[in-house]
Each structure stands twice: as C-alpha cells, then as structure tokens.
Amino acid sequence: MRIGISLPDNLLGRFDDIIIKRGYSSRSEGVRDAIRNYIIQYEWMSEVEGERIGILSVIYDHDQRGLVNNLVDLQHDHSDIVNSSLHLHLDEHNCLEILMLRGEGKAVTEFSESIMALKGVKHVKLTTIKPGVEI
C-alpha cells in the first residue's frame, strides 16, 4: 500500500543520512524498518506489568506554548508514581527532563504515553526494571 507523509526538511535530511549509513536501498525500506521498531517498542511498553521502577527521559521544545505547564501538571497529577525529576537546559530552545518513576507498570507506561502525546515533546524514552531484580 502506498501512503504519503509530510516531514520537515531537517527531519527528512537526518533520516536520509541514516538510510545511507545503514545501507538501505530506499526511503521506503527505512520507513518500513522504523515502523516495525516503533510497533515493537509500543508492544514492549504495553506488556509492562507489576511493580516497576522507571526512568523516563523527555526532550521537549521549551518554547511550545503551554507545554511546560502541562508537564508540571501531569507530574503533580501522578505524584504517586513520580518520585523525582531532573531538568537540564540543552540549548535556548530544548530541555531534557529526567523523571524517576515507581509504581504499577500500567500506570508508569500510561503516564509515559501521556507525556509522549503532548505537542512540543520531541523524544520520550522509558526504561523500566522490576524492584529487587539482581543485576
């Protein structure tokens, strides 16, 4: 099936660079691989069950209207699972927020997805472990 998508020039340029470095024969091949990885990540996050400790890293556009307030409100609304946060200014427009989470896996992933859905959030990465797991 054919689809059409619109991308900003800088995002497409970065994607094209990766396609060349990885040796893909076409953009379509790279897009298929990216979609597969997105589906695998989503399914993995959906299967997180039981008590979890999580690290959520979020990169976002500081200038996006209302975003900072939405992020703070979400953290306050989920204070039962948000244990601490660290904020770092990456440049004059982008910030990195690292959140330490602890709670039921479903609540942790739902919280992460609610942050991911906010306009102006550029990247979200959740890593979880079960408490008491020997490493």
CATH of the domain at 104: 3.30.70.1150
Long-range pairs for 39-46 at CB < 8 Å and ≥24 separation?
45/109, 45/112, 45/113, 45/126, 46/109
Are 36 and 22 found together in one domain?
yes
pLDDT above 80 (res 48)? no
The structure tokens listed for 72 are 């703070």
**Residue 22 domain-assigned (yes or no):** yes
Confidence of residue 134 (pLDDT cuts 50, 70, 90): low
**Residue 135 domain-assigned (yes or no):** no
Give how many domains the chain has, as a whole number.
2
Are residues 104 and 52 in contact, defined by beta-carbon separation less than 8 angstroms? yes
Region at 50 (left for phi over 0; alpha for psi -120 to 50; beta for the rest): left
Tens digits of residue pLDDT in 66-113: 999 999 999 999 999 999 999 999 999 999 999 999 999 999 999 999
The CATH number linked to 25 is 1.10.1220
Are 22 and 87 found together in one domain?
no
Are 100 and 125 found together in one domain?
yes
Are 58 and 112 found together in one domain?
yes
Residue 81 lies in domain: 49-129
Are 53 and 114 found together in one domain?
yes
pTM of the predicted model, to two decimals? 0.70
**Residue 61 domain-assigned (yes or no):** yes
